[in-house]
Amino acid sequence: MQDLTLVMAQLDPLVGDIPGNTERAIETVREARIEHGADVVVLPELFLTGYPPEDLLLRPSMETRLRQARARMAEKMARDVMVIVGYPGRREGANWNLAGVLYNGEWLGEYAKQALPNYEVFDEQRYFAVGEAPLVIEHKGAKLGVLICEDVWEEGPVQQAREAGANILVTLNASPFHQDKPAERLALLEQRAREVGLPIVYVNQIGGQDELVFDGGSACVDADGELRVQAPHWAVGLMPVQFVRDEQGAWAPSAGEVDEDVSAEENLYCALVTGLRDYVNKSGFKGVVLGLSGGIDSALSLAIAVDALGPQRVHAVMMPYHYTADISKEDAAEQARMLGVDYEVLPIESMVEAFMGTLADSFAGTERDTTEENLQSRCRGVLLMAISNKKGLMVLSTGNKSEMAVGYATLYGDMVGGYNAIKDVYKTWVYRLARWRNTQDPAIPERVIERPPSAELAPDQQDTDSLPDYDTLDAILVRYIEGDMSAEAIIDAGFERDDVYKVVRLVDRCEYKRRQAPVGVRVTRRGFGRDRRYPIVNGWQPGE
């Protein structure tokens, strides 16, 4: 009997940092060789550039930089270990999404990705040509069939690798997270393994990149689709897989570590923390500043920020006005104390009065409306941006997906900022996450969770004054945004006609606001951003 030690390298690259990612690869392989006796090390898709590199792929110097990186890897990489790593490459006048195989200083072959996704957040057909040929590399008696991410989601490339003689399938991935995605991946691996009767190694990356976040969860299933090894989600690390060859020549992975299942709330919360941490750290900010209102959204955002960056890098500001309730002030101060963050109170009465005085003649003869409410929010935005400029802290905005969907937010007010950790989190999930977070360690005053939500921009104001209750609102939004259901189809599903048309019209009308909103991590099947592209100006009318 023979054995083969394959190490899944679950890493967090920095997009565009080719020299840095190259050194990470070299050090990772050295560590895998020393600690695990690795025969093969597999790194994620497009690891040398990071994923997704987007239009960096069009830079004239890209291929030059990658040639230098590959030359350095050939020179410095540990010997007696085969390395499979992802990178883009220009070959025969076209760009390709490649997986290269390196062994003892020699690049033995390259595989070009065949299935190029062009849906949701993916735009690979913009950049890459379609690969056609399989790549099977033999090492220590094992024949490794190399695949890249989307290839395993389609039958063709998998069958092709098997027909080319592979007895272990190895797929390099940069598979972003959304709710339910980890379970979908495992179900797919089980299905593909059973179809071809071969074990599959699935290596995913970790970390946040702009609005995407990658959860890891690298895994190996046997030829029957049974999960044998799985790396932790939300953690960088090396995970060995021990393959054993039987007398009939079939290779099978031995049982190893398997990451424990966690709740949907914990998985989602980890995604938000990871996305924020990487955005701030990779961008080079000292920390974040946010407005702490005493409401549920800013309270959850504060907890996420502290878990991502530590309390010493988080600055919270309460900016009260006439309509700010005493309990809001008390709860904000209590949460800041609970989490140990830097906290200050900056009243905005004088600012609002100064604006109103300046605008008195312009507003003469008009009735009070949302204009005056928005002035309060915009004064707060000015203060947060001033603190940001002075202290080098990124402003963290705190609006949830339900609000962003219907425009329940103020441009240049509570929408100012560099990032929004809960941008793709519906209001009903905001409550679920807040309750879950408190089960780990109290971080949000219970009264904040129990109080009816309010923007506190007018006397006795509540969100339900202008919106359906959030259970109803979110149910409509999920169907319209993620399901692309028409207004009439949503009504047929059991919702009130007036509610549906009001919500749908608000979503359509407020596209211009969302285009100007801060980036935030995508955690649903369809977030506002790169995978939902609707025209701002259009004459489309809701209906069928």
Catalytic residues: 45, 113, 149
Strand ranges inside 334-398, DSSP E: 342-345, 393-397
Q: Which DSSP letter does residue 111 get?
A: E
> How far, in Å, CA of 140 to CA of 245, rounded?
11
Q: Is 437 helix (H, G, I), strand (E, B) or coil?
A: helix
- Sequence-distant (≥ 6) Cβ neighbours of residue 438 within 8 angstroms: 444, 446, 449
What are the φ/ψ torsions at residue 360 (nearest 5 degrees)? -55, -45
Distances, alpha carbon 167 to alpha carbons 82, 112, 142, 424, 495, in Å: 17, 19, 7, 41, 53
254 is in an annotated binding site: no
Closest residue by Cα to residue 87 from 13, 182, 5, 31: 13
Contact 97, 150 (CB under 8 A): no
> How far, in Å, CA of 55 to CA of 174, rounded?
17
- Sequence-distant (≥ 6) Cβ neighbours of residue 22 within 8 angstroms: 48, 69, 72, 73
Closest residue by Cα to residue 145 from 132, 154, 157, 131: 157
Q: Which DSSP letter does residue 464 get?
A: G
294 is in an annotated binding site: yes
Closest residue by Cα to residue 39 from 131, 129, 144: 144
Distances, alpha carbon 57 to alpha carbons 48, 210, 401, 430, in Å: 12, 17, 31, 37
293 is in an annotated binding site: yes
CA 51 to chain CA centroid, nearest Å: 12
Q: Which DSSP letter does residue 155 get?
A: H
The pair of structure tokens assigned to 408 is 């329940």
Contact 42, 241 (CB under 8 A): no
175 is in an annotated binding site: yes
Distances, alpha carbon 351 to alpha carbons 294, 378, 413, in Å: 21, 10, 14
513 is in an annotated binding site: yes
Q: How many CB atoms lie within 10 A of CB 242?
A: 18
* Radius of gyration in angstroms for the set of CA atoms belonging to the chain, rounded to a whole number: 26
292 is in an annotated binding site: yes
The pair of structure tokens assigned to 326 is 């005493």
296 is in an annotated binding site: yes
Q: How far apart are the first and last CA of the chain?
A: 64
The pair of structure tokens assigned to 216 is 């890891």
> How far, in Å, CA of 245 to CA of 106, rounded?
26
Contact 230, 217 (CB under 8 A): yes
441 is in an annotated binding site: no
Contact 306, 341 (CB under 8 A): yes
> How far, in Å, CA of 184 to CA of 227, rounded?
13
Q: Which residues are annotated as a binding site for deamido-NAD(+)?
A: 374, 403, 513
Q: Which residues are annotated as a binding site?
A: 119, 175, 181, 291-298, 374, 398, 403, 513
Q: Which residues are annotated as a binding site for L-glutamine?
A: 119, 175, 181
Q: Which residues are annotated as a binding site for ATP?
A: 291-298, 398
